[in-house]
Each structure stands twice: as C-alpha cells, then as structure tokens.
Structure 1
C-alpha cells in the first residue's frame, strides 16, 4: 500500500516538473527580431433577440414587490424615541408618485388608490431597463 502511495506521489511530481519545464519554455525571452503588432478582432455586434424571450424561463420565479411611499433619515437616538402615536414625516409630497420596488430595485412609479378597502397602486410609469 505504501509503495502505491509513493508511486502516485512520484508520478504527480514528474507531471508537475514537466508542466514547469513547458511553462518555462513558453516564458523564454522574446526574440528581438520578432515583429510585434496589436491583435485585430472582428467587430462585435449586439444582437437584438427581444428582451422578453430570455426571461420566459424565469416566468414562475416569485419576486417580492413592495411600495415605498417615502423615506427619512434619523439618528439611532431619534429612532429609539419612537413610540405608539409618534409621527414620522417622510420626504415625499402627497401628490408625488410612490416607488414600486422588486427585491429592493425600483421598477415603476404609481399612485396610491383604494380597492375594496385595501391599498393598491396604479402604475403611472415603468422604469427603463437601461439603468437610467
């Protein structure tokens, strides 16, 4: 059994030495007379196959959607003083649209409406997909 382990270790060392020798040959100093010029690649072109087609495979994946009506920054001390009846004033006007978020990323804007005694949001703008 020990002989097999030693043979295997010896074979691995031989392979490593061969790899090192091959690598050192590749890294030999460049021939001073060799002509050096920049590589040329064919121009890459973007293909428009439709943004919807690749997403179809994810159609059954669930995503959490939330609606953000506003934000506020406060100190931890101010936050610790919040209690029942406290009012937190947000940074948005009543007439401003709310942000519709998917997994924390803004995907649309809308206005708050009420349907059957429940809050809802009517989408007024869908965010662009180009990152702007």
Structure 2
C-alpha cells in the first residue's frame, strides 16, 4: 500500500484542472413584456437575500450548500456544507 505522501504527490498533477462551479444564487419570474423593456441599469428583484442558503454544484453535480453573504460590497458564498458520500447516495447522485 502506498504511503499518504506518495498518493498526494501522485494527485498533484490534477490540482490545476479547472472545474465549473455553479452557485444557485437566485431565480426570478418576469413577463415577456418586462424582459423586452429591460435596459442597462435596470434592477431585477430575485427570490434570494444575503443570509439565505443556496445549492453549490460542481460540473452539474451537487457539491454542498453555502450562505449568500456580502463581502466588500459584492455577493460572495460562504461554504456551509460539503456533501459526504452518504449524502450523495441519499440525493441519488451518480
């Protein structure tokens, strides 16, 4: 059996592979009339607020959950839960 250090070294070549993270930050319902009237600077209200929890996916698969926060006047996500193997089995993720 390989030592932990050897395994870690073996996986280092994968560390810089880019992955697509998706933060389910907000959704909104709008009418076609409203959509066609949008212009730069318009604000669209959504169903999320700072402090709410969202789903986090990686490559279209569940990764965990996070909390919407404001950091330096920008939205950010605080990771609150990374799913375990058992969680993913319960979510029926393949």
TM-score, structure 2 as length reference: 0.54
> Root-mean-square deviation (CA), in Å?
3.1
Runs of 4+ in 1 over 6 A off after TM superposition: none
- Structure whose alpha-carbon radius of gyration is higher: 1
Counterpart among 91, 96, 107 of residue 63 in structure 2: 107
Mark the CA change 1:131 to 1:95 in structure 2 (over 3 Å): closer, same or farther.
same
Instruction: Measure the CA separation in 1 of the matches of 2:89 and 2:45.
Output: 32
Q: 2:26 aligns with which of 67, 70, 80?
A: 70
Alpha-carbon displacement from aligned partner over 1:58-113 (angstroms, at most 9, x marks no partner)? x4543211323211132333222221222211112432123322234442211235
Q: Flag the structure with higher strand content.
A: 2
Equivalent pairs counted in the alignment come to 76
Counterpart pick for 1:130 among 78, 89, 93: 89
Which secondary structure does the structure 2 equivalent of 1:129 belong to? Answer: helix
> Where do 5+ consecutive residues of structure 1 fail to align?
1-55
The answer to which structure, 1 or 2, has the higher relative contact order (CA under 8 A, 6+ apart) is 2
Instruction: Name stretches of at least 5 consecutive residues in structure 2 with no aligned partner.
Output: 1-10
Deviations 1:31-56 (A, max 9, x none): xxxxxxxxxxxxxxxxxxxxxxxxx6
